[in-house]
Structure 1
Amino acid sequence: MHPFGRLGVPEDVVEIVSLLAGLRPRIGSNQNAMPDLLERAADPIGTDRGFRLPFSPLRWPQKRAARVEDRNSMSREPDPAVLYPDVAACGSLAAALQAAAADQGMSLPLAITPSDPLRHATIASVVPHRHASYVTAWHHERRWSIWGSSNGRVMICGNTKDLRELPRVIRGWADGAGLDEIGQTALFDLLTGRFEVPDNNSAGVIASEWQWLLKGAVDADWPQYQALIESAHAEPKLRRLYPFTSHWALSFSSTPDSPFSPPFVSIDSPWGTGDYTIREWWNGPALNQVTTPAEAIAIAVDRIPADLMQTPSAPPSQDP
């Protein structure tokens, strides 16, 4: 996806790490399960940072193709104590954040990460379904990222060059403030578009995931992709299914959890001019090519298996 500029880790990184970990590649689950590994894999090496991700910007296909990097020189990782001398002076990132919070009249529920104390700190929350919450420092540039997950899906993720902008966000997340309230306290882009589903019911998770996908499509600066996602969401028979992408191709499942239901359609969006390509799975043979997203969605609907059509699912209203 993905939907990913502002919503998650780049798909190519997730899938590489997923293969290494023996996990099924799926944005939203793998990135939550392996934050440290993904952070190291996705840490930008002289990349364009125009998009927000938990640990690095999404490198869209045209940006990746156009960018020329000296990987040999940029692969030398600076000593974190040199890149972050102020944090080193405090002894850890957690301590540096506590000091910044104290200046703002608050304290933070943070824990040091022993394996990387200058670049990683863990956030504790009073809300039981909020977990996998971290602040991390980038490896090649002075910048910090924060992300927080709820029931295995990222709800907040953003980055800033100013450590002082993080304490209020951390405090709100830890205290159980609503996502909109947390977003209002942030001086940087933070919300992913998802809403929390405390009981993790399937209908709620599906509705939340659609909001994430829609937000990512708007942020993508890819009109054909945005049109596809919006057309799919407008179709009730698809909106009741869990949407996900692989290699930027849109697919659906009856369940938001692995194992997904067997694939029945995968839709590729054209870049610029070209057709939408329909396959059964993301790397399968092309079955159809059509010029409009409406045609692609109509084919997708016709391919929905009968058992998926009978699966009850009514997305709930969003609770802030």
Structure 2
Amino acid sequence: MNVGAGAGGRQWGRGVLREVLRRTAEGLGIVLPEPDSAPPSAARYVDERLGRRVTVYPPREEMTGSRPWAVYPRGGQCGDLWVRLESHGVIVAGGWSAEPTEAVRAAVAWMSGAGLRETRAQAPCIEFRPWALVHEQEPLGAVELAWHVKLDRYHTSDWGRFPRTNALLVAAYAQPALRRLTPITSHFNVWFSTRIEPSEKKQVGFGLWEGQVGYGLFPHDERQYGVRRRDGELVARTGTPEEAVALVVAALPGRP
């Protein structure tokens, strides 16, 4: 059964999804934690002690109060529920659930402390990448984790409509000299920083980021890949992301 809106479907107004999930859990004879109050069209469950969070979103066309491209992965089943699992603020897994039952089982398993594999056994819709399993067993370093989260963001979400940014990230991650730096993105441009934590300044863009190192990469620079200095001056335009990244690596401080 598809849970989307439309002919024969539900209308997911404010609070409706939470009530549907509550009744589904009740019918299954399992206890679903109390959701918090935000976002208004979704159902979010939080356990501060475990550092875990589950958010169940309504079908894409029914989402309110958020920009869909910031929530839903690309090319998903728009009539289904999107279930997202987080651990200590990091999105580690997610999946499209055609039935409220599967969304409930995923939420209950994750919030009870189950691992990724155990949660997927309860809710087969849940998917995750190998790095998430590694991180679950032994937490990755902050910079390495930042790379995986960034690569996943551009690969799996509607940001994937911008494959040139993803291509720059992939090419940069292949370079050890850049992999030790934190990747930063804004307006689909890419640059690198020695700082792990984000800047406290609001709307900080290229050239203003604290700890910024070297050149920046611009995926849409006169239909080519642009390489620019911190003040915006053009260094070069290239036809491939690998060529652009090579210029950034060659100009890093301390390089021969």
Which residue of the partner structure matches residue 168 of structure 1? Answer: 105
Q: How big is the shift at 1:139?
A: 7.7
**Does structure 2 conserve the Cα–Cα contact (< 8 Å) formed by 1:148 and 1:157?**
yes
Counterpart check, 1:211 vs 2:148: yes
Normalising to structure 1: TM-score of the pair?
0.54
Across the aligned residues of Structure 1 and Structure 2, the Cα RMSD in angstroms comes to 3.9
- The answer to whether structure 1 residue 103 and structure 2 residue 27 are counterparts is yes
User: Quick one: distance in 1 between partners of 2:37 and 2:44?
Assistant: 7
Match of 2:214 in 1: 264
- Structure with more strand by fraction: 2
Cα distance, 1:175–1:120 mapped onto 2, change above 3 Å: same
Q: Is the 8 A contact 1:242 1:254 kept in 2?
A: yes
Q: How many residues are treated as equivalent by the alignment?
A: 216
Matched AA of 1:269: P
Give SS of 2:185's match: strand
1:122–1:135: 8 Å Cα contact kept in structure 2? yes
For 1:115 and 1:216, locate their aligned partners in 2 and report how far apart those are by CA, in whole Å.
Answer: 20
Tell me, yes or no, if the aligned pair for 2:188 and 2:218 is still in contact at 8 Å: yes
Residue of structure 2 equivalent to 1:50: none
Matched ranges for 1:162-311 at <5 A:
162-183=99-120, 185-188=122-125, 190-191=127-128, 195=132, 204-216=141-153, 218-219=155-156, 220=160, 224-259=164-199, 260-269=210-219, 274-281=223-230, 284-306=232-254
Change beyond 3 A, Cα 1:134–1:214: closer
**Counterpart for residue 137 of structure 1:** 58
CA contact (8 A) 1:193 1:211 kept: no
Q: How many percent identity over aligned positions?
A: 24
Question: Are 1:125 and 1:175, in contact at CA under 8 Å, matched by a contact in 2?
Answer: no
Higher relative contact order (CA 8 A, sep 6+): 1
SS in 2 for 1:147: strand
For the Cα contact (< 8 Å) 1:120–1:137, is it kept in 2?
yes
Measure, in 2, the Cα distance between the counterparts of 1:139 and 1:270. 28
Cα distance, 1:242 vs. partner? 1.3
Question: Which stretches in structure 2 are left out of the alignment for 5+ residues?
Answer: 1-9, 63-78, 200-209
CA positional deviation for 1:174: 0.3
Alpha-carbon distance between aligned partners in 2 of 1:214 and 1:84, rounded to the nearest angstrom: 31
- TM-score, normalised by the number of residues in structure 2: 0.65
